[in-house]
A and B are shown apart, each in its own frame.
Chain A
Amino acid sequence: MRLDKDLEIVDGLPFLYVKSLDALVCSDVHLGYEGVMAGKGVFVPKVNLKRIKEMTKKAVLLTGAKTMIVDGDIKNEFSEVHIEEFNEFREFMRYLAEDLHVTRAVLVKGNHDNFIERLKPGVKFESFSEEALLGRYLFFHGDELPASKKGSVLIMGHLHPSIAIYDKLGVKEKLRCFLYGKLPKGRELIVLPAANYFAEGVDTLREDCGEIAPIFKDFADVGDMRALCIGEGETLDFGTIRELRSI
């Protein structure tokens, strides 16, 4: 789904493609999730990295992107670097470079990405601790407000947006979505859905988004945002959150 001349959502995937940067953007990958869960006593078969790889491959094939931007929370644990995170991170970076020939990897640090520097030895990537201004785009994770006033399009993650809708017989369906809309003063905002397989997402129709992502507290009204949902192999425009909430 094309958003404007330069921006496109890769159909059916939680990836944004920025033409001028020749970059794919995703967020909230949470590598090492299963290992961290095992540490909490839950056996979760390893699926996430496999799925992330499959999705990335598809997105690279469709766009030919040479740059990969992860807009925060590439890993899962707050307080340490789990061995599984370390292994999966390296595997993902190797896969990007060697199998998909992505030449540039950019990480914007999220709230889960502490100690990410420890992952550096032997792996080539650029990391930004708060936000990254690339071209007219300001990338930040979203757990805090961006400091920079620059950039005409703000791109964040963190919220794990989704919408829960009900069919005629009352069965609930939860769909991950991009949020896309205007901010005051003409800037644009894009909120990326979580790429992590296990993150079902926050129901933006019913939960207080401002509590999770401060940008929706005072700066922007989530009701103005359009929900662009990830369907099967396509992206579907469900209209604005306000409209959806009024049903």
Chain B
Amino acid sequence: MIDYYKKPFTAEESLSALNPVLRAWFEKKYKGLTPPQRYSFRLIKEEKNLLITAPTGSGKTFSAFMSILSSLFGMAQDGTLEDKIYCIYISPLKALNNDIYKNLNVPLDDVYSTPKAEGLKRISVGVRTGDTPQSERQKQLRTPPNILVTTPETLAIILNSPRFIENLKDIKYVVIDELHELANNKRGVHLSLSLERLTEYLERDFVRIGLGATLYPLEEAAKFLVGYKNEKEERDCYIVDATWDKKMDYQVMCPVKDIINASNDQIDKEIYKTLNSVIKKNETTLIFTNTRSGTERTVFNLTRRFRYGEESVAAHHGSLSRESRLEVEELLKKGKLKCVVSSTSLELGIDIGTIDDVVQLGSPKSMTRAIQRIGRSGHSFNDVARGQIIVINRDDLVECSVMLYEAKRRHLDSFTTPMNALDVLSQHIVGMSLNKKWKIDHAYETVRKAYPYHGLDRKDFDRTINYLAGAYVGLESRRVYGKIWAEEGEFGRRGRFTKLIYYLNLGTIPDTVSVQVYEKSRWIGGIQEEFLARLKPGDIFVLGGRLYRFDYSKGMNCYVSRADARMPTIPPWFSEQLPLTYELAIDIGNFRERFGEAVRRSVKNSKSVFSMLKKNRLEPNEDAKRILDEMPIDANAKHSIFQYFAEQLLFAGIIPNDRLILIEKTADKEKKRNMIIFHTLYGRRVNDALSRVLAVLLGDIHETDIGVAINDNGFMLVTESDVKIKKDEINELVQELVSADIAAMLRDNVRRTEMLKRRFRQCAARAFMILRNYKGRQISVNRQQVNSGMLLGSVEEIGRDFPVLKETYREVLEDVMDLKRTKEIIARIKKGEIDYRVIETSAPSPFSHVLITFGEADVVMMKDRRKRLRELHKQVLDQIKRYSR
């Protein structure tokens, strides 16, 4: 049973759960208990499974460890503490593990220096990750630490280490930190199977403690943590929600009064000026930028515009070397940096000392992430966390305003776990076969106890076994292909090298393929392989802030020459940006409806209104004002949002929302193309699916290629201007959409994309179909990807249910896109719950401008993208002018 624990224990109830010596230490050291501690001391003492969510800095990790240390210390007093592992602590970050090691040894040093602990066996802590030297590993094997600090991957290796696994026999607690970073991806799925394998090995349960920052829905997170005890029931788990116990103060800042009409340079200048004003008033400021390139650009601009030196402003992101990241972290802890700029890497609980203020540049795309990031500031848990989002364009403005408004109302977005991933399953089946001979029925039961596999189809399980046993190749070749044997309801290990293959290829994080770019013989940088796949000779693209013309590629090298053009001809096809969450998208839709109605009352499509709008003198009515005043946004933001909505209403007469889709048939005269713009504010994962299906339908009618551009707010279909599309046709198109078998259409459409090939290769690597490392030899990604398209073709011969293929499509349709919600939306259109309106415009309406420029939306090219926005905007204003005449 999953249950909330809502009433905290009293201080005395909590403290009395601790061993007296540790209690004395705790009371001497701390003034009081933090909210999570008021639950955890007691509940962990009672050996309950427990999920604690609380903001970073709330001492939640320590709230779990205090009870564990207390219990182990009691064993030391009784003389029953042996050289055995009693607790495993797992976090997704190696860096975090080193912090934990230090943070556990501080109290231990204190406690063991008191007279009461004299002569007692010391509780030992050991770190074991991929970076742990061999000598340390050997030492741990001989004398295991009482608390083992590790990563999900290393845990999986330990499970297959015949000698080390012996040390796990007395495990009592498993602590999983940063659960929110695991529950939504394949790394977490991988870990969930490891935990079930551990339970199966021990033939008993252990106490599972999950720690996470904001995570919703909590019931699902708890199920993910504890799994199932049998066919029907989850294991018991208590949920402690201390998410909102930290006080926060945040707001949206719009850099200029009128973000729609301000010039590029003005906005740029004001963004950095605003940023600098925040930096100046603080000791240390943390800036988040969403992308790595954005991080680099911000650091560059801050140092150039305000003459900050390298010693006061630094970047921290995943592409930097481990050493330079550690250096930045150290400087932060010492309070020596004025400002640090990060993409996502400082989101997690690494100790970075005190941050006064968090600034988010551009939308973080989810309420949960916004809260998580802002929560990084504040001296202590009792301090107010301060944060602001500086917005960069009009859609960003509306998005962030709704985001913080909803966060204030304690509305969070949900996570989803990849379900029934057959590639991760393959890895574990190989791992399981290395442990012992299994009955297939029993293995299936074991796997289904893990939350992400509870609904696993037996047929898929058997197919995965068959694939690994080499059943898909002729009998004579099975010796070469099979990694396990399977017969008469049992399976086990096969082949001398299987163990080595398992060790060297385990894990779920895909290799990223970087293509090296050269100008003549000079190396310039790297681009993603999928980006290369889209380049044709003559295309101009951006690298390291410069423009280059693509000449040719050879293997994994790409040759370019310098280009003098003003704009790249090829947009970045694969966005670094995270998709907008569905919940937030719907919230924005609601806001559009509510606010749109209010604005409608203050705007009449008349000449005077238009001229006032143009002069920036149109004021919102009381209703509109009230709505804006409820939001945590500054005066510029209020003005710009109103301006934006008013323009859309004047131009198109319609503000689209989540229950009213606006379809706009228009043209881009400059580029000589027709555009059908769909204002479907459901997030990119839904729009990706919707746009492909509609493009297929439209393409079939006109027998032509259809260009597609998507973003979180909608999508557009583009045709050459000689393809004539009638307005009625769009109605027919929607009718076709609601009766289409979209899953089948998507599968067929996706089949021809580079994305599928890339995802297939990653799934194949996870499923050990392609090995990254074979017999100790690193196989370059180059080698791995020999004809991944051909490989895909050959696998298709086997059939759609072949596990690696099935998983690839599942990943694309369910993880990259959101097939489930797309279907829901289509069903609602069919039922009339979602209405749509088709209009014809001579130029794209204001709400579509960000979408149209999305194609040019490389973050590095922000300038030119704005320029384009401005041009479009001008077209529209001219249009409005003509109407109002």
- Chain A: residues with CB nearer than 8 A to chain B? 34-35, 37-47, 50, 84, 87, 166-172, 197-200, 206-207
How many Å lie between the Cα of A145 and that of B683 in the bound state? 59
Report the minimum CB–CB distance from A35 to chain B (whole Å).
6
Q: Which residue of B lies closest to A245 (CB)?
A: B537
Residues of B within 8 A of A198 (CB): 786-787, 790-791, 794
Verify A35–B787 contact, CB threshold 8 A: no
Q: Could you say which residues of chain A place their CB within 8 Å of the CB of B474?
A: 46
* Known contacts A45-B472, A45-B798, A39 near B480 by CB under 8 Å: yes
**Docked-complex contact B790 and A197, CB < 8 angstroms:** yes
**Interface of B toward A, CB cutoff 8 Å:** 472-474, 476-477, 480-481, 501, 533-534, 536-537, 539, 552-554, 570, 705, 707, 720, 764, 768-771, 773-775, 779, 783-784, 786-787, 789-791, 793-795, 797-798
**C-alpha spacing A22/B793, complex, angstroms:** 33
Residues of A within 8 A of B536 (CB): 166, 170, 172
Q: Is the CB of A42 within 8 A of B769?
A: yes
CB proximity of A114 to chain B, nearest CB, Å: 21
17 more A-B residue pairs beyond the given contacts A42-B784, A168-B720, with a C-beta to C-beta distance below 8 A = A34-B794, A41-B501, A41-B775, A42-B791, A45-B473, A45-B795, A46-B474, A46-B794, A47-B793, A170-B536, A172-B534, A197-B790, A197-B793, A198-B786, A198-B787, A206-B537, A207-B552
* A197 CA to B764 CA, complexed, in Å: 19
Known: A35-B480, A84-B477, A167-B705. A43 touches B769 (CB 8 A): yes
State the Cβ distance, A200 to closest chain B Cβ, in Å. Answer: 6
> Are A47 and B770 in contact, CB atoms less than 8 angstroms apart?
no
Closest-by-CB residue of A relative to B480 is A38
Chain A's closest residue to B559 (CB) is A206
Q: Which residues of B contact A170 (CB under 8 A)?
A: 534, 536, 539, 570
Q: Measured between C-beta atoms, what is the minimum distance from A5 to chain B in Å?
A: 36
Residues of A within 8 A of B552 (CB): 206-207
Q: Which residues of A contact B795 (CB under 8 A)?
A: 45
At the interface, is chain B mostly helix, strand, loop or mixed? mixed
- Whether A207 pairs with B554 at a CB distance below 8 angstroms is yes
Cβ contact within 8 Å between A45 and B774: no
A200 touches B476 (CB 8 A): no
CB <8 Å contact, A38 and B477: yes
Would A43 and B770 count as touching, CB distance under 8 A? yes
Across chains A and B, which 6 residue pairs bring their CB atoms closest together, nearest first? A41-B774, A41-B771, A47-B794, A206-B552, A43-B769, A166-B536
Q: How far is the CA of A197 from the CA of B793 in the complex (A)?
A: 10
Is A41 a contact of B790 with CB atoms below 8 Å?
Answer: no
The answer on a CB contact under 8 Å between B794 and A197 is yes
B553 nearest in chain A by CB position: A206
Scoring A43, A167, A197, A200 by chain B CB atoms within 10 A of each residue's CB, the highest score goes to: A43
Contact assessment for A46 and B705 in the assembled complex, using a CB-CB cutoff below 8 Å: no
B719 CB to closest chain A CB, in angstroms?
10
What residues on A are CB-neighbors of B534 within 8 Å? 170-172
Give, as a whole number of angstroms, the nearest-CB distance from B513 to chain A. 16
In the bound assembly, the distance between CA atoms of A35 and B478 in angstroms comes to: 10
**Distance between Cα atoms of A46 and B473 in the complex (Å):** 7
CB-CB under 8 A from B553, the residues of chain A are 206
Smallest CB–CB gap between A18 and chain B, Å?
29
Q: List 29 A-B contacts (CB under 8 A).
A: A34-B477, A34-B794, A37-B786, A38-B477, A38-B480, A38-B481, A39-B480, A40-B774, A40-B783, A41-B770, A41-B779, A43-B768, A45-B795, A46-B473, A46-B477, A84-B480, A166-B536, A168-B705, A169-B707, A170-B570, A171-B705, A197-B790, A197-B793, A198-B786, A199-B787, A200-B787, A200-B789, A207-B552, A207-B554
Which A residues lie within 8 Å of B481 (CB)? 38, 43
Give chain A residues whose Cβ lies under 8 Å from the Cβ of B537.
206
Min Cβ gap A161→B in Å is: 16
C-alpha spacing A151/B768, complex, angstroms: 50
What are the residues of chain A within 8 A of B779 when measuring CB–CB? 40-41
Contacts of B783 on A, CB cut-off 8 Å?
Answer: 40
**Docked-complex contact A47 and B797, CB < 8 angstroms:** yes
The answer for the CA separation of A197 and B473 in the assembled complex, in Å, is: 17
A95 to chain B, nearest CB (A): 15
Alpha-carbon gap, A43 to B795, bound state (A): 10
C-alpha gap A46/B475 in the complex (Å): 12
Set of chain B residues within 8 Å of A43, measured between Cβ atoms? 481, 764, 768-770
Q: Choose among A41, A45, A172 the residue that contacts B794 (Cβ–Cβ < 8 A).
A: A45
Alpha-carbon separation in the docked complex, A197 to B790 (Å): 8
A87 to B475, CA, bound (A): 13
Residues from chain B with a CB closer than 8 A to the CB of A171 are 534, 705
* Residues of B contacting A172 in the complex (Cβ-Cβ under 8 angstroms): 533-534, 536
B570: which A residues are within 8 A, CB to CB? Answer: 170
Q: Which residue of B lies closest to A82 (CB)?
A: B480
What residues of chain B lie closer than 8 Å to A167, measured between beta carbons? 705
Most chain-B Cβ atoms within 10 A of its Cβ — which of A46, A50, A168, A207?
A46
Closest to A167 in B: B705
Contacts of B789 in A (CB 8 A): 200
Chain A residue contacts of B793, Cβ below 8 A: 47, 197
- Closest B residue, CB atoms, query A166: B536
- C-alpha spacing A88/B720, complex, angstroms: 50
Docked-complex contact B770 and A42, CB < 8 angstroms:
yes
B798's nearest neighbour on chain A, judged by CB, is: A45
**Interchain CA distance A44-B773 in the complex, whole Å:** 16
- A4 CB to closest chain B CB (Å) equals 33
Report chain A residues within 8 Å CB of B533.
172
How far, in whole Å, are A170 and B786 apart by their CA atoms in the complex? 22
Residues of A within 8 A of B720 (CB): 168
- From B718, which residue of chain A is reached at the shortest CB distance? A169
In Å, the complex CA distance between A197 and B796 comes to 13
Closest B residue to A50 by CB, please name it. B797
CB pair A44 B774 closer than 8 Å: no
Q: Which one of B481, B775, B783, B794 has the greatest number of beta carbons of chain A within 10 Å?
A: B794
The minimal Cβ–Cβ distance linking A209 to chain B, given in whole angstroms, is: 12
Complex: how many Å from CA A168 to CA B723? 14
Docked Cα-Cα span, A166 to B534, in Å, equals: 9
- Residues of chain A within 8 A (CB-CB) of B539 are 170
Q: How far is the CB of A130 from chain B (nearest CB, A)?
A: 29
Inter-chain CA distance A153–B526, complex, in Å, is: 45
- Which residue on B lies nearest to A84, using beta carbons? B477
How distant is the Cα of A172 from the Cα of B779 in the complex, in angstroms? 27
A169 partner residues in chain B, CB cutoff 8 A: 705, 707
Bound: A112/B775 CA distance, A: 24
| C-alpha spacing A50/B797, complex, angstroms | 11
Q: Chain B's nearest CB lies how many Å from the CB of A162?
A: 12
Contact B797 A45 (CB under 8 A): yes
Distance between Cα atoms of A244 and B536 in the complex (Å): 13
Chain B residue with minimal CB distance to A46?
B473
In the complex, which residue of chain B has the Cβ closest to the Cβ of A38?
B480
- Chain B, residue nearest A168 (CB): B705
CA distance A50 to B476 in the complex (A): 16
A227 to B780, CA, bound (A): 33
- State the Cβ distance, B294 to closest chain A Cβ, in Å: 26
Enumerate chain A residues within 8 angstroms of B764, measured Cβ to Cβ.
43
State the CA gap A40–B786 with chains docked (Å): 12
| A87–B476 CB distance below 8 A | yes
Q: How long is the Cα–Cα vector from A170 to B532 in the complex, in angstroms?
A: 12
Cα–Cα, bound, A84→B477 (Å): 8
Complex Cα spacing A194 to B773, Å: 29
How far, in whole Å, are A207 and B472 apart by their CA atoms in the complex? Answer: 37
Chain A residue at minimum C-beta to C-beta distance from B777: A41
Report the nearest A residue to B797, measured CB to CB.
Answer: A47
**Chain B residues positioned under 8 Å from A35 (CB to CB):** 477, 480
Tell me the bound Cα distance from A39 to B797 in angstroms: 21
CA distance A168 to B534 in the complex (A): 12
| Closest beta carbon of chain B to A54's beta carbon, Å | 11
Rounded to whole angstroms, the CA-CA distance of A198 and B770 in the bound complex is 15
User: Inside 8 A of A38's CB, which chain B residues have their CB?
Assistant: 477, 480-481
Neighbouring B residues of A46 by C-beta, 8 Å: 473-474, 477, 794
* A113-B283 Cα distance, complex, nearest whole Å: 71
Residue of A nearest to B784 (CB): A42
Closest chain A CB from B452 CB (angstroms): 24
List B contacts of A84 (CB < 8 A). 477, 480
